Chains A and B, each alone.
Chain A
Amino acid sequence: MKIEILWVLLVLLCVGTILSILGVWRYACHIRNYLEGQRGAEGQAAADKDEVVITNQRLKELIDLISSIKQANYDVSTPILQETNTANVQAQTIFLERNGTDDALVALASNNIDHPRTSLRRIK
């Protein structure tokens, strides 16, 4: 076998390796996105079933927080706060945790009513 053929083979292997890396990257991204999407769907299903996936202490804090906001005469017309009775509050708190609005509620509780991540308004 001529040595030139081996060099050609070496170059082909390098090209094949680069293409394979691109393919691996593509499918790894696909699988990661799929698994993340599935985790989100499982979380939503848990929220729909009112399953508690946060600690009891944290849940109590959030219930108190929502109650204090209602008592401070805020308009709770935004869907996430329309119903704050205890039967529904578990699913709502999970929803709040997953959508990152917890910090917005904390800001509201400290009278920062212009927080950009919520549509809550004080009732005139």
Chain B
Amino acid sequence: MMNKNHPMVLRVVCWAGFEVIIPIFFVVAIWPISAAFLQISLAFEKTLGSADLLPIGSVLLLGVAIDAIFAEFQRATKSMIVAVLAIVACLVALVFLFLYGFAKAEYLRYSFPASGDADARMVLFAYLSGMSIIFAVIFSLLIKLKSLFLDISPTK
């Protein structure tokens, strides 16, 4: 049975597929590919240490925040939570971009050793990069679901 709310749920699913999974997959997939097939040492640090996931997370957060703010303008009942979430998303996105510049500069100046472990800073950048994209995806999903909930809520 078709439901009039299905397009809204479908919108979230399409967002998750095309804006989240595909871009992240193509960046993260380099790590197992380079480790398993190309036999590159320190593949994790070399792939994620460049902090390429930070701008993706930043774009995710900014896009969702802007969508939420414009959707909020069109609602009769305003929600303070959406506004706060959108502002937090924008601020975190700016922090991510600032961090990306710093991490990228450090990454370019650093030369990986032929054997042994990588510098602790590169490992930290890799973890930070991975954690930032996880946070960005879940926080964006939170804003999307809150916005969707307000759209389908009877108190609209």
Contacts and interface: CB of A to CB of B under 8 A. Distances in A.
Interface stretch (A33-41, A57-65, A89-97, A110-118): A33-41
B146 A27 contact: yes
Main SS class of interface, B: helix
A10 to B, nearest CB: 5
B138 interface: yes
Most A-side CB within 10 Å, residue of B9, B125, B148 = B148
Interface residues of A, number: 23
B145 A28 contact: yes
Nearest to A30: B149
A54 to B, nearest CB: 13
Contact of A23 (B92, B99, B142, B148): B142
Contact of A17 (B95, B120, B135): B135
A27 B138 CA distance: 12
A38 B3 CA distance: 9
Interface residues of B, number: 28
Interface string B123-135: 0110110011011
A13 B128 contact: yes
B141 interface: yes
A38 B139 CA distance: 27
A35 B142 contact: no
A70 to B, nearest CB: 32
Interface stretch (A1-9, A71-79, A80-88, A100-108): A1-9
Contacts of A123: none
B153 interface: yes
B102 interface: yes
B138 to A, nearest CB: 4
B3 A35 contact: yes
A18 B142 CA distance: 12
B146 A16 contact: no
A20 interface: yes
Most B-side CB within 10 Å, residue of A10, A31, A35, A42 = A31
B1 A9 contact: no
A7 B138 contact: no
A33 B29 CA distance: 36
B75 interface: no
6 contacts: A7-B124, A9-B99, A10-B128, A13-B132, A31-B9, A34-B153
Interface of B: 1, 3, 5, 9, 92, 95, 99, 102, 120-121, 124-125, 127-128, 131-132, 134-135, 138-139, 141-142, 145-146, 148-149, 152-153
